[in-house]
Structure 1
Amino acid sequence: MTAAVVLALYAVVAVVTLPRLLIRGELAERAPRLAIAVWLAACTSAVASVILSALAAAVPATVIGHGLAEFFEACAAMLSHGAPLTSPGTRAALLGAAVIAARITYCGAAILVRARRERRQHAGMLNIIGRHDGELDAVVLDHDEAAVYCLPGRKGRAVITTAALRSLAPEQVAAVLAHEQAHLRGRHHLVLAAAEAFHRAFPGLPLFTRARSEVARLVELLADDVAARRHSRIHIAAALVRLATGRAPAFALGAGGETALTRVKRMLNPAAPLGHRERIAGLSAVVLLLAGPAAVAATPGLRSFLAHHCHNISIF
């Protein structure tokens, strides 16, 4: 029961406190990929803690301690004979865990299905009114608004409007299309879908609300960094300035948008990359967030398991 209480308290504290801790420092500016992993690990950690808390409260540690085979036999016996596992409190805990797991799964699936349908419709429209430019490796769309975006999916493609081609220099076009290709290769739409699923499943909670906005910003920083490996930061910054007011479809990832101007400053004044120790610390935080709740939930059962087997060994 102690593990269940610890996990439940951690989930409450994490939802409120982790957003304040994670926005501090320069991790996002210096290592956006690692920052994305930390935010998603924090969300997963909070949800897993609630589910594991319910399971820890429902399954006695002594049941686990008697061995894996006995554990399943005991579960079957409890379910069929009305043992303590089927008490009202236990049933409520298990039902709560199942509801939480089902809700996050449903929200994630609904987001992916809807986005796929909208992308398919947009792709059909591009096939009719757009034209593929082999030199640019992008679809050119006749439009009076300067915009560059990508349409993710199995047959992902980058899209640039004729207005953007007129307003951008060739070097800037190449740089911004490299940004969009980075989104496609990195499958950033799945990262955004995960953050959106957490937010939609648990609306109003600070951790998930902040994670959605931060992950959306971080994938743009990451794509900027990938593009900067092959193109001048000045060209990327100039393209972002011209595309700042450009709008992309909601289900696509656009180079412009509301974060464009702040990203210009970052392009022109890049922060120093993380050192080896700082990167190790960040990766350790991800591992701790993901493995910590499971370790806490498993501790009582492990103690009971060791106590049971040590007792048997002492008898012989």
Structure 2
Amino acid sequence: MTVAIVLALYSAFAAVVLPRFLRLAKWSDRAPRLAIALWQAASMSAIVSALLSAFAVAVPASVVGYGLAWLFEACAAMLGHGAATLSATTTRVGLAIGGLLVARLAYTGGAVLLGARRERRRHGEALSLLGRRDRDLDAVVVDYEERLAYCLPGHNGHAVITTGALRSLAPEQVAAVLAHEQAHLRGRHHLVLAGTETLARAFPRIPLFGQARAEIARLVELLADDVAARRHSRIHIAAALVRLTTGRVPAFALGAGGETALTRVRRMLHPQAPLDRRERLAGVLAVTALLAGPATLAAAPGVGAFLAHHCHSFLPLALAGAITALRTRTTANAAAADETAASRH
């Protein structure tokens, strides 16, 4: 029961307090990929902790230690006739809470994915009528005066650019902004954003999920800028962003412009030093701790119970195996020595 309480308290802490610490990280703009992973890990740790807390309430650690077969039998017994360690009511409450969390996430995630897919399909059908495929640009060109450049993600995702943007941008700037959109497609950033949208919609009053959605949406744009900057000049990317600032892309698409464009222009023109090895290692360890911490804490009592109940039988077997191996080796060595002596005579 103590583990369940600790996990529940950590889940509440992660949901309310943890985003305040994450927003204090000044290095996120220098390593957007790592920062995205950190926000994702924080969100996952909050959800997993809540689920494991409900599981710890429903199933005692001693039951876990006996193995999965006994686990199911004990769960059935507790649901039907109660148990010595926990009441049937407590077990039902734990299982109900865990089931509701999973059902809420599954329903909301399905709604987000299916809704976005439906909107992308409709937009793709319109593009097939209004746009033309330009093989040189590797993009769909739409005859439209507003300066827009965005990508339509999905199974057959592609970049889209309007004739207004083509007339406004120099060829080098066009190549740079399309590289930004291709980075979104190759990185499958729409799935990253779908995950954050799912959590924010499923639990709208949780500060962590709302802030993670906004921050990750900003960070994926920085990441796409960095990927484009590997092959194109930062000046060309910055100039393209300035000209595309006022463009309004569809809500289900990822565009080069947008509200963060001016901030990204300054970042392109005045790049910061990347994280050194020690800072990057600290970030990786933080992500690992957020992901593995709740599971480790939840598993510790079960592992302890397993060792307490079964190590006494494992140790004699291990010793017997070691003794048998030693006797076999000794016999083999004696036989080899006899053969050697016989060959000499």
Q: SS of 2:154's equivalent?
A: coil
* 1:248 aligned residue: 249
* 1:118 aligned residue: 119
* 2:44 aligned residue: 44
Gaps of 5+ in 1: none
Q: SS of 1:28's equivalent?
A: coil
Q: SS of 2:56's equivalent?
A: helix
Partner AA of 2:60 in structure 1: P
* 1:34 aligned residue: 34
Partner AA of 1:156 in structure 2: G
Q: Percent identity?
A: 66
* 1:257 aligned residue: 258
Q: Any residues of structure 2 matched to 1:205-244 within 5 Å, and which?
A: 205-244=206-245
Q: TM-score, normalised by structure 2?
A: 0.88
Provide, for residues 249-288 of structure 1, a one-character-per-residue CA deviation record: whole Å limited to 9, x for no partner.
0000010000000000100111111112221211111111
Q: SS of 1:150's equivalent?
A: strand
* 2:70 aligned residue: 70
Partner AA of 2:106 in structure 1: T
Number of positions where the alignment pairs a residue of Structure 1 with one of Structure 2? 316
Partner AA of 2:200 in structure 1: H
Q: SS of 2:29's equivalent?
A: helix
Equivalent-residue separation in structure 1 for 2:92 and 2:316 (angstroms): 37
Equivalent-residue separation in structure 1 for 2:146 and 2:37 (angstroms): 34
Equivalent-residue separation in structure 1 for 2:311 and 2:149 (angstroms): 65
- Bigger shift: residues 260-269 or 298-307: 298-307
Higher relative contact order (CA 8 A, sep 6+): 1
* 1:177 aligned residue: 178
- Which 4+ residue blocks in structure 1 deviate beyond 6 angstroms? 313-316
1:59 lines up with 2:59 in the alignment:
yes
Contact 2:80 2:88 in 1 (8 A): no
Partner AA of 2:24 in structure 1: R
* 1:10 aligned residue: 10
Contact 2:79 2:92 in 1 (8 A): no
Equivalent-residue separation in structure 2 for 1:120 and 1:135 (angstroms): 24
Equivalent-residue separation in structure 2 for 1:274 and 1:43 (angstroms): 23
1:129 lines up with 2:133 in the alignment:
no
Question: Offset at 1:314?
Answer: 8.8
Equivalent-residue separation in structure 2 for 1:4 and 1:29 (angstroms): 36
* 1:21 aligned residue: 21
RMSD of aligned alpha carbons: 1.7
Equivalent-residue separation in structure 1 for 2:105 and 2:300 (angstroms): 26
Gaps of 5+ in 2: 318-345
Question: Offset at 1:138?
Answer: 0.6
Instruction: Say if 1:104 and 1:27 are closer, same or farther in 2 by CA, change over 3 A.
Output: farther
Contact 2:105 2:198 in 1 (8 A): yes
1:287 lines up with 2:288 in the alignment:
yes
Equivalent-residue separation in structure 2 for 1:136 and 1:120 (angstroms): 22
Equivalent-residue separation in structure 2 for 1:314 and 1:236 (angstroms): 65
Question: Offset at 1:67?
Answer: 3.2
* 1:145 aligned residue: 146
Equivalent-residue separation in structure 2 for 1:167 and 1:312 (angstroms): 77
Q: TM-score, normalised by structure 1?
A: 0.96
